[in-house]
Structure 1
Amino acid sequence: MEIEINMINVEDGDAIILTLKKEDKKALILIDGGYKKYYPKLKKRLEELLPSFDNKIDLVICTHYDNDHIGGIEKMLDDYHQIIQEIWIHKISDTLTEQVSLMKSELDSIEKIEEEYKRFKTLAGINEHQDFLIIEGYRDLLRVSEKLIQYDLESKTKEPTRGDYLEGFEEFTVISPTAKYYNSFLHELKGETFLKDIRNNISENKMILESFEEFTDLQEIRKGIDLSTPCSRLEKSSLKNSVTATNMVSIVTLLKANDCKYLFTGDAGIETFEDQNILDEDIKNLDWLDLPHHGSKNNTSEIMLSHFNPKTVFVSARGTANRPHYLIKQCLKNKETGDNIFVTNSDEETWYLKYDENGNTERILNT
């Protein structure tokens, strides 16, 4: 099978184009859309690829609701709704119409929290291009839901769970969540507890900023921490570190082709893999790994990395000490991965990272 993975440089977000060709079948798959402001990069690559795929997008996967993953989906729907064949997306209600109604009823509460977040941003000294835009993510999900209805796409949507696959490409399957796992978080994804996710994200950002007040740069951090055993210093729980329900139920997918394994993780967390007992042979000794949550320290454990044992790692991130986290990078460097860790924004001129079935990695610059 011919494969190509294009990870668009959307900094701390995800926008991945996966192309598959085998015999007389081919598929173009879009996994998330990144921040809305980076959509022109995504569209540019889609325009180059579409003619070779019968001008069809075979599958759009919205791994979860966060702004840095779903923001660009809204614009993509405007441009390409007529050629989309299938959409995988979670719903917090039985239908998109019910979901839109529920979310609209909560906008007053959202706006109150937004005021709190604006005050936090001002005190923290961060601007709109540096923060995680958590509040806007809620509105993005609302608009995406409305567009799916507007463009009569609900009949093409599917809520995937473990074991589902793309028709004609059984090699591309859903690893997580199981139906049971998703339903265990459903209450947190609804009603007033949906707002709890936003508050938790605000708290997580505060903790990140507070931790960095003690250090001026990565060099200073390394002075205070023994890096001889980085793997043992990784986190053991995402939930205890305020990782949201939205992230924990990210749609995780696996491609098995040419005796190789490629794992796409969204913002899944430690318990996503460990509590569901899905660290099986299918995702052991990976050839390629999309590092969870842009390399956040809260989403990857020593157990996960030991099991994944990836040969090559791609990270969609800003390339700072925090994303991907330096302990995760050092742990990977001490394993089979070595220096085969590629970060989209380590060179700001990067348009996208490209990986093919022969294991070739190429950094495409934005020209």
Structure 2
Amino acid sequence: MEQISLKIFQVKAGDCISLKYKGDDEKFHNIFIDCGYSGTFDRTLNKEIIDIKSKNERIDLFILTHTHQDHIGGITKFIRKYGQDDIVDRFWFNGGRLLINFETSNKVSVNQGYELEKYLIQTGKQNVQKIIYGIENYKIFGAKIQIVGPRIEDLDKFLKSWNKDYSILSEKITTNMCDWNKEIAEFNLNNFEEDGDDDNKSSIALIFEINYDNKNSRKILFLADSSPNVIAKNLSNMGYSKENRLKLDYVKLSHHASKGNTSDDLLNLIECNRFIISTNGTNRDKFPHKETFARILRHPLRDKKQKVEFIFNYDTMELRNIFKKHEYQDPNLNFECLYPKKGVTYYELCL
């Protein structure tokens, strides 16, 4: 296989990602980012875990970006199936009682987040005082993981809503209006209304980077459901600007390409032509939003000579009908859409 295998699993309108890469020890290592819904676990991530175990590999890092069920719902099945197997070296999860003194809290919930916290605390898989935020960076077998969100103040706001009953909540609705009938040229991109959901703003967002022989470098931005303005501020603090943009191989678009999670301020700071979209196109929020694609394609700093690739982890009639025939043929737009192979439950990128 190639040195990196990135799989974006089909978990309806959720996120579930596996990243396998050859480390500096010449062995393959595995990072998971989210696990989709409970109902999608068996046909997606579970098969990946079975394959990992058959090769005597481990899950070096399991990241649960935030508490929405389309990202964390499958963790209950994971704990029940593999909780005693000790196949995960490290978890990252900013849950409620990991941010507050859980020993003095008497509040109870039945959501997956609390179940995961209980598991982490009992097994010692995470230091109770450790939270993931800011612009810290970590190294793991030759790879660098640069955190670019959330901010500590966003986690503080998130705590205020932690005790809501997530057992009856599938996912927040940003908008129920479908904008696929509009032309790319018709969107008014001068105004931008950011997704104001505190839970989404608590998302762990990161850059995965690895260099092979100082020649074959790979850099991927995973945005979960993060706030674009938060990411833009952190990238700016890291020294990136319109004149010094962050060059990326791939960007996993935030919040399933919702129009409230990709801003011009963020696009000003990144240089990328390949964008990953994790959603089936048949969800109640009508994700992805065409406005997001229009903002990317019409961005003033974009090099129109470079073709943009929109990479979907589903191949559905709805997704194939987002763009009109003449838009595909317009040389000023210069883009294409890529879909997974038939019969598989993921889109795989081999790098």
On the 8 A contact 1:313/1:342 being kept in 2, the answer is yes
Using the size of structure 2 for normalisation, the TM-score is 0.74
Conserved in 2, the CA contact under 8 Å of 1:89 and 1:158? no
Aligned pair 1:176/2:134, yes or no?
no
The alignment covers a number of residue pairs equal to 302
CA distance in 1, matches of 2:59, 2:143: 17
Give the Cα separation in 2 of the matches to 1:274 and 1:189.
20
Where in structure 2 are the equivalents of 1:43-62 lying within 5 Å?
43-52=46-55, 54-62=56-64
Per-residue deviation, residues 126-149 of structure 1 (Å, max 9, x unmatched) = xxxxxxxxxxxx712122222334
Q: Tell me the distance in 2 between the aligned counterparts of 1:203 and 1:84.
A: 27
Q: Does 1:208 align with 2:175?
A: yes
CA contact under 8 A between 1:60 and 1:86: conserved in structure 2? yes
The aligned residue for residue 21 of structure 2 is 20
Q: Which residue number corresponds to residue 111 of structure 1?
A: none
Aligned with residue 275 of structure 2, among 295, 313, 316: 313
| Contact kept in structure 2, 1:96 and 1:149, CA below 8 Å | no
- The question of 1:322 aligning with 2:286 is answered yes
Residue type of the alignment partner of 1:144? L
Q: Secondary structure at the match of 1:19?
A: strand
Q: Measure the CA separation in 2 of the matches of 1:197 and 1:302.
A: 35
Deviation track 1:12-36 (CA, whole Å, cap 9, x = no partner) reads 1111001110342432001111111
Once the two structures are superposed, what CA deviation does each residue of 1:183-224 show, in whole Å capped at 9, x if it has no partner? x13442234x446898xx99963x623x45xxxx733xx1xx
Task: State whether residues 68 and 171 of structure 2, in contact with CA within 8 Å, keep that contact through their aligned partners in structure 1.
Answer: no
CA contact (8 A) 1:295 1:323 kept: yes
CA distance in 1, matches of 2:29, 2:80: 21
- Verify the 8 A CA contact 2:15 2:35 in the aligned structure 1: yes
Q: Secondary structure at the residue paired with 2:175? A: helix
**Change over 3 Å in CA distance of 1:187–1:288 after alignment to 2:** closer
C-alpha separation in 2, matches of 1:84 and 1:312: 30
Q: Cα–Cα, structure 1 residues 94 and 208, in superposed 2: closer, same or farther, change >3 Å?
A: closer
Question: Secondary structure in 1 aligned to 2:286?
Answer: coil
Q: Which amino acid aligns with 2:225?
A: D
- Counterpart-to-counterpart distance in 2, 1:35 and 1:203: 11
**Aligned residues of 2:67 and 2:95 also touching (Cα < 8 A):** no
* Secondary structure, aligned partner of 2:120: helix
Query: SS of the residue aligned with 2:220?
Result: strand
Q: Provide the rounded CA distance (Å) in 1 between the counterparts of 2:227 and 2:347.
A: 24
Q: Which whole-Å deviations, capped at 9, do the CAs of 1:35-84 have from their partners, x for residues lacking one?
A: 111001111122223434x3311110011111111111222223233111
Q: Determine if the alignment matches structure 1 residue 345 to structure 2 residue 314.
A: yes
Return the alpha-carbon distance in structure 2 between the equivalents of residues 203 and 171 of structure 1.
31
Distance 1:3 1:83 in 2: 20
Q: Which residue of structure 1 lines up, in the alignment, with residue 226 of structure 2?
A: 268
Instruction: Name the amino acid aligned to 2:112.
Output: D
Instruction: Classify 1:69/1:278 alpha carbon distance in 2 versus 1 (closer, same or farther; 3 Å).
Output: farther
2:200 paired with 1:247: yes
Partners of 1:91 and 1:195 lie apart in 2 by 11
RMSD: 3.3
Asked if structure 2 preserves the Cα contact closer than 8 Å seen for 1:344 and 1:353, the reply is yes
* Structure 2 CA distance for aligned equivalents of residues 167 and 317 of structure 1: 29
1:131 matched to which residue of 2? none
Alpha-carbon contact 1:96-1:145 (below 8 Å) kept: no
SS at match of 1:49: helix
1:228 equivalent in alignment to 2:185: yes
In 2, Cα distance between the equivalents of 1:202 and 1:78? 21
> CA separation in 2, counterparts of 1:32 and 1:218?
28
Question: Which residue is 2:113 aligned to?
Answer: 141
* Contact 1:50/1:57, CA 8 A, preserved across alignment: no
Conserved 8 A contact 1:260-1:287: yes
C-alpha deviation, 1:95, in angstroms = 6.6
Contact 1:8–1:16 (CA under 8 A) maintained in structure 2: yes
Please report how far the alpha carbon of residue 270 of structure 1 lies from its aligned counterpart in structure 2 after TM superposition.
2.0
> 2:112, 2:291 → 1: CA distance?
32
C-alpha separation between the residues in 1 aligned to 2:148 and 2:175? Answer: 30
Q: 1:328 to 1:189 in 2, by over 3 A?
A: closer
For residues 87-130 of structure 1, what are the alpha-carbon distances to aligned partners after superposition, in whole Å with 9 as ceiling and x for unaligned? 111143457871894540xx5xxxxxxxxxxxxxxxxxxxxxxx
In the TM superposition, what whole-angstrom CA distance separates every residue of 1:145-187 from its partner, at most 9, and x where no partner exists?
223344453459942232231433342232223xxx22x1344
Identity over the aligned pairs, expressed in percent? Answer: 23
| Cα distance, 1:324 vs structure 2 | 1.4
1-side partners of 2:257 and 2:266: how far apart? Answer: 13
Identify the residue that residue 37 of structure 1 maps to in structure 2: 39
Which consecutive residues of structure 1, in runs of 5 or more, have no partner in the other structure? 108-137, 358-367
Does residue 237 in structure 1 map to residue 231 in structure 2?
A: no
Alpha-carbon distance in structure 2 between the residues aligned to 1:76 and 1:203: 20
1:88 corresponds, among 67, 88, 92, to: 92
Do structure 1's residue 189 and structure 2's residue 151 form an aligned pair?
A: no
Q: Tell me the TM-score normalized by structure 1.
A: 0.71
Whether the 8 Å contact between 1:87 and 1:157 is mirrored in structure 2 is no
